[in-house]
């Protein structure tokens, strides 16, 4: 399985903005950096074929990660999240026919077992999706190039998961939904999963 992690460059004022004003813009950017590193480290402990898909290939943080870890650095490209996911999915299946799992970096507190649970589930279902409390998902895996799943989704809304499941049903695909988890988007989320615990 190929794992594709999507991450943003840790630019102050541009990332993790829902942590502000309790956290400064720079503190939020530092957390973005820490979250990306934590997710990448966990994924690489279990998977060999890893892409880190980023918004700025030249950002020093990603260059440092490439020096310290073995992964394929890719550019996400333009457009909304759906456009970027679809582009990466197509690129992955053009390159290889192995299953793909997408992850973000908002759930660094999640154990490797959540990723591992997706593997056997994907052998029995077309899609595996990891629900999160805010109505989105932190993981989506598929064994074939179902790129249309990412079209027409109201990204950054509370109905991302619901709309995605509706599309899966409309396409007559089978789905396994992992236990609901939570993202680290707000200060209270960090109280539930403090950085020192990742």
User: CATH no. for residue 59?
Assistant: 3.90.550.10
Cα distances (Å, whole numbers) of residue 29 to 7, 61, 111, 130, 137 = 12, 11, 23, 25, 22
- Tell me what percent of the residues of the chain surpass a pLDDT of 70: 100
| Residue 141 belongs to some domain of the structure | yes
The tally of domains found in the chain comes to 1
Contact 139, 175 (CB under 8 A): no
**Does any domain span residue 143?**
yes
pTM of the shown model: 0.96
The pLDDT of residue 97 is above 90: no
Cα(134)–Cα(183) distance, integer angstroms: 8
Residues of the chain with pLDDT > 90, as a percent, come to: 97
Determine, yes or no, domain membership for 198: no
113 is a domain residue: yes
pLDDT score for 90: 96
The secondary structure element, H or E, covering residue 180 is: strand 175-181
Residue-range definition of the domain harbouring residue 139: 2-192
Whether residue 159 is contained in a domain is answered as yes
Sheet of 175-181: strands edge to edge? Answer: 72-75, 50-54, 2-7, 100-103, 137-142, 127-132, 175-181
- Give the mean model confidence (pLDDT) for residues 59-66: 97
Task: Please report whether residue 197 resides in a domain.
Answer: no
- Whether 23 maps to a domain, the answer reads yes
Please state the rounded mean pLDDT for residues 31-54: 98
Residue 156 has pLDDT above 90, yes or no: no
Domain presence at residue 105: yes
Tokens of 19: 């942590």
């Amino acid at each position: 399985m190929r794992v594709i992690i999507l991450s943003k460059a840790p630019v102050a004022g541009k990332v993790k903005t829902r942590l502000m004003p309790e956290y400064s813009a720079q503190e939020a950017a530092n957390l973005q950096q820490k979250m990306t590193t934590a997710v990448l480290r966990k994924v690489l402990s279990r998977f060999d074929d890893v892409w880190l898909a980023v918004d700025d290939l030249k950002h020093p943080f990603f260059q440092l990660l490439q020096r310290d870890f073995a992964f394929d650095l890719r550019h996400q490209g333009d457009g909304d999240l759906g456009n970027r996911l679809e582009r990466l999915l197509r690129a992955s299946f053009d390159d290889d026919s192995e299953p793909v799992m997408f992850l973000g970096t908002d759930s660094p507190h999640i154990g490797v077992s959540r990723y591992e649970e997706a593997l056997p589930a994907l052998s029995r279902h077309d899609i595996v999706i990891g629900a999160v409390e805010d109505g989105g998902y932190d993981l989506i895996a598929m064994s074939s190039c179902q790129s249309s799943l990412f079209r027409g989704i109201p990204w950054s809304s509370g109905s991302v998961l619901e709309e995605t499941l509706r599309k899966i049903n409309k396409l007559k695909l089978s789905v396994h939904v992992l236990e609901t988890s939570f993202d680290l988007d707000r200060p209270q989320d960090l109280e539930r999963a403090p950085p020192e615990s990742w």
